[in-house]
Amino acid sequence: MPTKKTTKKAVAKKPVVKQATATNKMSTRGQKLVAKKTTKKVVAKKPVVKNKGLAKKTVKKTTKAAAMKKPTKDLVYASDQESFWVQNGEILNSLIALNDAFAKMDTKIYQFHAHGDKNDFSIWVDSVLCDQECAADLAKAKTPKSARTIVVKHLKLYSI
């Protein structure tokens, strides 16, 4: 069996030409290369966010309701002599009774007790029921509905 001879073909190699830098000129085999100035484009990269959906930071927001959650208070009941006598004849002895009264109170009756700078409800809650925060908020109320909202908010602090 004849064996096959393999011959390598000679591959002509091209001369390696080094690229000229921006500051100097080089010559290779008689050829003169002129350096070209290159400019780079600067592209602002966006920050990489990994696990976009999972890495959200939670920000705690403090609200008035969260700030008001303090230890519960005991509900104060006024004695018969310290009870609040409403113009329509109703007698109130606690914040619960005041809440119920505001629910069905007429605006004229409310205005009778809370007119101008004087608010009988606020004064009574402060002096008899000893709740200065509720009294301060009640002093700002203009209608029985808004006053009831304030009382409901403060009743949440009481152990009933």
Tell whether 109 is covered by a domain.
yes
How much is the pTM?
Answer: 0.57
pLDDT tens, 114-152? 998 899 999 999 999 999 999 999 999 999 999 999 999
The pLDDT value given to residue 72: 82
- Residues 32-73 have pLDDT tens digits of 555 555 555 666 666 665 655 555 556 666 555 555 556 588
Quote the pLDDT of residue 26.
46
Among residues 129, 128, 126, 127, which one has the least CA distance to residue 138?
126
Does 120 reside within a domain?
Answer: yes
Q: How sure is the predictor about 160, in pLDDT bands with cuts at 50, 70 and 90?
A: confident
Full domain range(s) for residue 125: 73-159
Q: What is the pLDDT of residues 13-23, one digit of tens each?
A: 555 545 544 44
What is the count of structural domains for the chain? 1
Predicted confidence at residue 116, as pLDDT, reads 86
Residue 144 lies in a domain: yes
Q: Is residue 146 part of a domain?
A: yes
* Residue at 114 is within a domain: yes
